[in-house]
Amino acid sequence: SAVISQKPSRDICQRGTSLTIQCQVDSQVTMMFWYRQQPGQSLTLIATANQGSEATYESGFVIDKFPISRPNLTFSTLTVSNMSPEDSSIYLCSVANQETQYFGPGTRLLVL
Amino acid sequence: QKEVEQNSGPLSVPEGAIASLNCTYSDRVSQSFFWYRQYSGKSPELIMSIYSNGDKEDGRFTAQLNKASQYVSLLIRDSQPSDSATYLCAVNEGGYQKVTFGTGTKLQVIP
């Protein structure tokens, strides 16, 4: 399995600001995903990060709010824009080469 | 819409007992099935994968798959308090497809 790191591991932000989360993998992977997990809830897929093209967003998530970059096969960023307290959550990067997905350690975000 | 259903629990079992976690899925073309364990405050960790009908054993864990019934389960033998976590069932059509996750079953192993 790939070794996945995320930065920052946690942050406290003010409403109206933006935060960029980085995901780095130790090997090239075909697919990268971004999930959100709110307290006590299950995983919600935000988008699939596509290398060299625009991300594919799930219903309810839009590029203006969650812009994603994927410049190469080992790195991706997720930005949470114009944050509100409702964005307080754990944000997880996930990678896959075929059908098996592995998760990074997550970024715990609190918006005040 | 593809769905993966799990009982949210909590499922409470005494230490040393067998914990049985169940999952059903709606998409008949699903090919790959996974169980993830998630401790509170941590990210999901893959513990089992199964691709064909029958049982697959790995230590104290056994995954069971019945494609005709669209049912997959996870048995944990000799349950330990350290097994207390939320267990996520996940299903994939195979190949380069995203995985669909269930909502998870919370397991509590009582010492």
- A13-72: pLDDT as tens digits: 999 999 999 999 999 998 899 999 998 888 999 999 988 888 999 999 999 999 999 999
Query: Using CA of residue B8, residue B63, residue B72, residue B75, what is the dihedral sign?
Result: negative
Q: How far apart are CA A73 and CA A27, in angstroms?
A: 8
Contacts of B102 in chain A (CB under 8 A): 42
Beta strands per DSSP E along A40-86: 44-49, 56-57, 68-72, 75-80
The pLDDT score that the predictor gives to residue B96 is 64
Averaged pLDDT for residues A78-106: 94
The pLDDT score that the predictor gives to residue B18 is 98
Q: How far apart are CA B109 and CA B81, in angstroms?
A: 5
Q: How confident is the model at residue A97 (pLDDT cuts 50, 70, 90)?
A: confident
Q: How far apart are CA A31 and CA B27, in angstroms?
A: 22
B26-40, B46-60, B81-95, range with greatest mean pLDDT: B46-60
Averaged pLDDT for residues A4-15: 97
Asked if A104's CB is within 8 angstroms of B46's CB, the reply is: no
Q: Which tens digit of pLDDT belongs to each residue from B18-29? A: 999 999 999 888
Distance of CA A28 to the CA centre of its chain: 17
Contacts of A62 (CB under 8 A, 6+ apart): none
Contacts of A31 in chain B (CB under 8 A): 96, 98
Distance from CA of A93 to the nearest CA of B (A): 10
The pLDDT score that the predictor gives to residue A59 is 93
Please provide residue B81's backbone torsions phi and psi, each rounded to the nearest 5 degrees.
-55, -30
Q: Which tens digit of pLDDT belongs to each residue from B82-101? A: 999 999 999 987 666 778 89
Does B45 score more than 80 pLDDT?
yes
Distance from CA of A102 to the nearest CA of B (A): 7
The pLDDT score that the predictor gives to residue B34 is 95
Per-residue tokens: B5: 């259903």
Distance from CA of B108 to the nearest CA of A (A): 15
Contacts of B103 in chain A (CB under 8 A): 41-42
According to DSSP, the β-strands at B45-50 and B32-38 are antiparallel
Contacts of B33 (CB under 8 A, 6+ apart): B25, B49, B50, B51, B63, B65, B72, B89, B90, B91, B92
The pLDDT score that the predictor gives to residue A2 is 85
**CB A108 within 8 Å of CB A6:** no
Averaged pLDDT for residues B74-83: 98
Please provide residue A98's backbone torsions phi and psi, each rounded to the nearest 5 degrees.
-135, -120
